[in-house]
Structure 1
Amino acid sequence: MLGHNMASTTFYRILQFLLLGTFILGCFVTLFLMYGKPFISWLSGPVKSTVSTDRVKNLFSTKSDKNVTTVLIWLWPFGKTYDPSLCSSLFNIDGCFITADRKHYIKSDGVVIHHRDISPDLSNLPPFKQPSFQKWIWMNFESPSHLSQLPGIENLFNLTLNYRQDADIEVPYGSIVAAEGEEDFVPPSKNKLICWIIHAYGQAFGKYTSDQDYFPTIASYDITEKLYNPLSVGTVPVVLGPSRKNYENFISRDSFIHVDDFSSPKELADYLLLLDKNEEMYLRYFEWRQHFKVKKAYFWAESMWTLLYC
């Protein structure tokens, strides 16, 4: 009987030890999962976009001439030509040759073709065989609703160049960049409460536009000069179109007013009137300018520079 009791006591002690050990191990694992750094990168969250500077630099890793990158502009955007030497003077780059002379086609590392200028029958595309080292670059700066579908171009291009963040070569209409030092920004004086900017209306003035015609023009990446130009001169833009979250991918959340933040046009109007009378609230929309500034794109010249990365 005594031996049986001793065996039972030993068994319970072992069981208590195992339970205590399991509890401690469980606590350790829980704490590790909560606070420890995971060994596998995908546990940490989304990976950054692969469209990086390094990737752009390697776009022309196989070139006809290792010392010079040659880019041929086959179709200028909307037929407007510019001096290709602007790239060198504006950005102080070397080792690049940008030309619109088609006799250089055979040795061009890249051939830039603007979508809106392609003929419907594709007859104005290069008629020559594409060298193995050469890349055709599809250039576009319009929203999807302003692009015509061109059957036959699906497999012609090697790279995309446009304002989209997922393009091979991203060229935005503008950007917010860090200032070299703390900026002493003073909001410009004004004599009007609101400035309503209308691009053009011509004979369309007074004609009703249905939602079906308007909403397809909204594109998540199509944040254009219509935002960056007013922002660059010190205004507080009142925006609509893409969501607030989408705008915040491009500019500071405290630099603009979004119509979706209000339940009605009257509520928006009341808020604007309040800002006009409350200087402290109004100046909050300029605090970001102490450390950042607006960078406007040079457009076609910058497109070429971004493309080359020389």
Structure 2
Amino acid sequence: MSLKLKKRFIIVLLVLLFVIYLSLQRTLISHIATRQDKPITRLSSKIRLSSKEHPLILYWGSPWGQKGYTRPDGTKWGECVVTNDRSQLKQADIVLFHYTVVNHEMMPWKNYRNPNQVFVWWSAENPAMLLAENIDLTHIERGFFNWTFTYRLDADVYGGYGYRGNLMNHVSRGQKAVDEIMAAKTKLAIWFVSNCDKSKGARMRFKYSQKLIEAGLNFTRIGKCFGNQHLLPRGDGNAIAQTVSEHKFYMTFENAWHCKDYITEKFWETALLNGAVPVIWGPTKIDVLRVAPIDSFIHVEDFESPAKLVEYLQYLDKHDLAYREYFRWREDENMTDENMICMIRKKYPNIEPQTRPISMCEKFLQNTESKSINSLYDEFVLSNPNVCYETKQSWLKNLKYAILGWAAW
């Protein structure tokens, strides 16, 4: 066979494999959605309203095996009480599993389980980062988890990085407060970043930042990516607050592109809490509009090019009244979260803003429904746009997942 024919054969084979992959994936997802007659491992029975005054929440291990990520034993979480002691598994009403403690050795589950217990999967990271960490969600038994506890608005329990109402209650408000914010500004923009290339999104945002520089944006950059992390030690909250407050804009660049609802402390704490206007890259604008204080941010997707964004930032730098518009949500001391929700609905009638989320304990005490998660991989990964999680490695994983699912069917 000639070299030319070999090349053609390889191309045809790759195209055929891709078509098979898409077909199998659609078949699998359809199968999961429609087939309910197949037994599900440890499907929870109907969960009753708790008869306990203070239900018990058990952490099944600490994230990354490190201290400080879980609440201490005996502390209250709403009306619930927390423990880290696995020997209390039989007494626990809710068992909380961080994604880093769920491993292949756990499956199949060999420990005690009461049908009325709620097993909860917990993650504050997006699918792209989980895949970058080689976290495999496909091995988890069907029906093992009942709820998700994540940053997503459609999670069973919202565990995001911030909430509009809480932010409004925490920051100083009124005309004087905004006057002080304006008076502190001496520099244009700043960005802290130490993840340069651990995920596709991290590499994409870094390239975008380079395009901003090429377009003439002069902004402060601090972190491991620039070898100057010593200038602002991580964990020094006061120094971070002081540094950010001197800048008009904080570059709120997430480490993933269009991962559903993934909006982190970069937006809530680093930018808004410290009086900087967030310039957002990563989540869709619609996702941000659902959660943000009204007219509080700038989104890169509103500009046809990095150069146009730079032009706008430079315009705001020279026009204080236009820049101040991004703090109108803080100027009205009487503004409530409920009023702002109404304002968002009026301005964006096709967007449903987030309302006050309920806590893990509230959810449990009020719950009367039964739920088990057939596929955590479907619910948390494949429910995102492909650009959120797709890499060469994830493409192969999805192909394997689709083939295994098809074979099981």
TM-score range (shorter-chain normalised) is: 0.5 to 0.7
| Partner residue in 2 for 1:274 | 315
Alignment match of 1:75 (pick from 37, 41, 61): 61
- Answering whether residue 283 of structure 2 is matched by residue 242 of structure 1, we say yes
**2:205–2:281 contact (8 Å) kept in structure 1:** no
Give the whole-Å Cα distance in 2 for the aligned partners of 1:157 and 1:253: 36
User: Does structure 2 retain, via aligned residues, the 8 Å contact 1:72–1:110?
Assistant: yes
- Kindly indicate whether the alpha-carbon contact (under 8 Å) linking 2:59 and 2:97 is maintained by their aligned counterparts in 1: yes
Contact 1:143 1:217 in 2 (8 A): no
Residue type of the partner of 2:66? K
Matches of 2:129 and 2:117 in 1, distance apart? 28
Paired with 1:166 and 1:203, the residues of 2 have a C-alpha distance of 27
Q: Which of 258, 262, 287 lines up with 1:218 in the alignment?
A: 258
Distance 1:139 1:264 in 2: 37
- Give, as a single letter, the amino acid of the residue that structure 2 aligns with 1:66: K
Q: Secondary structure at the match of 2:104?
A: coil
Instruction: Go from structure 1 to structure 2 and tell me whether the alpha carbon gap of 1:197 and 1:170 turns closer, same or farther (over 3 Å shift).
Output: same
Distance 2:66 2:173 in 1: 38
1:307 matched to which residue of 2? 360
- CA apart distance, 1:126: 5.8
Distance 2:67 2:48 in 1: 28
Equivalent in the alignment of 2:158? 170
Name the residue aligned to 2:231. Answer: none
Identical counterparts, % of pairs: 28
CA 1:288/1:87 → structure 2, altered by over 3 Å: closer, same or farther? Answer: farther
Map of 1:102 onto structure 2: 86
Asked whether the equivalents of residues 118 and 146 of structure 2 are also in contact (C-alpha less than 8 Å), the reply is yes
Written as runs of structure 1 = structure 2, the 5 A alignment for 1:171-186 is 171-177=159-165, 178-179=168-169, 183=174, 184-186=176-178
Equivalence for 1:84: 72
- Tell me the CA shift for residue 86 of structure 1: 8.4
The residue that corresponds to 2:52 in the other structure is 66
**1:130 corresponding residue in structure 2:** 113
How far apart, CA to CA, are the structure 2 residues paired with 1:278 and 1:198? 28
The answer to which structure, 1 or 2, has the higher relative contact order (CA under 8 A, 6+ apart) is 2
AA of the residue aligned to 1:172:
G
Q: Is the 8 A contact 2:74 2:82 kept in 1?
A: no
Per the alignment, residue 212 of structure 2 pairs with none
1:119 maps to which of 99, 103, 107: 103
Decide whether the 8 Å contact of 1:69 with 1:97 is kept in 2: yes
Instruction: Give, as a single letter, the amino acid of the residue that structure 2 aligns with 1:170.
Output: Y
Q: Alpha carbons of 1:208 and 1:179: their partners in 2 closer, same or farther (altered >3 Å)?
A: closer
Structure number with greater Rg is: 1
Q: Would the aligned equivalents of 2:152 and 2:160 in 1 still touch at CA under 8 Å? A: yes
User: CA separation in 1, counterparts of 2:74 and 2:336?
Assistant: 24
Give the distance between the partners of 2:296 and 2:47, measured in 1 at CA. Answer: 38
1:143 equivalent to 2:126? Answer yes
Other structure's SS at 1:249 match = helix
1:233 aligned onto 2:304: no
- Counting only pairs closer than 5 Å after superposition, residues 199-214 of structure 1 correspond to structure 2 as 199-201=194-196
* Contact 1:60/1:109 (<8 A) preserved: no
Distance (Å, rounded) in 2 between the aligned partners of 1:221 and 1:116? 21
| Amino acid of the structure 2 residue aligned with 1:256 | F
Identify if the C-alpha distance between structure 1 residues 275 and 241 changes in structure 2 by more than 3 Å, giving closer, same or farther: same
User: What is the Cα deviation at residue 111 of structure 1?
Assistant: 0.6
User: Does 1:254 find its partner at 2:307?
Assistant: no
For residues 92 and 198 of structure 2, the distance between their equivalents in structure 1, rounded to whole angstroms, comes to: 45
Q: What are the superposed Cα offsets for residues 225-270 of structure 1, whole Å, 9 maximum, x if unpaired?
A: 1111211100001112222222101113411111111122221111
Q: Is the helix fraction higher in 1 or 2?
A: 2
Q: Residue 169 of structure 1: CA displacement?
A: 0.8
Secondary structure of the residue aligned to 1:284 is: helix
Alignment of structure 1 residues 46-61 onto 2, 5 Å: 61=48
Which secondary structure state, in structure 2, belongs to the residue aligned with residue 237 of structure 1?
Answer: strand
Q: Partner of 1:192 in structure 2? A: 187
The gaps in structure 2 that reach 5 residues or longer are 1-45, 207-253, 338-357, 366-409
How far 1:221 moved relative to its partner?
0.9
Q: In 2 relative to 1, CA 198–144 (structure 1 residues): closer, same or farther, beyond 3 Å? A: same
Paired with 2:360 and 2:94, the residues of 1 have a C-alpha distance of 9
Shift of 1:145: 1.7
For the Cα contact (< 8 Å) 2:99–2:121, is it kept in 1? yes
Q: TM-score, normalised by structure 2?
A: 0.50
Q: TM-score, normalised by structure 1?
A: 0.64
- 1:122 partner amino acid: M
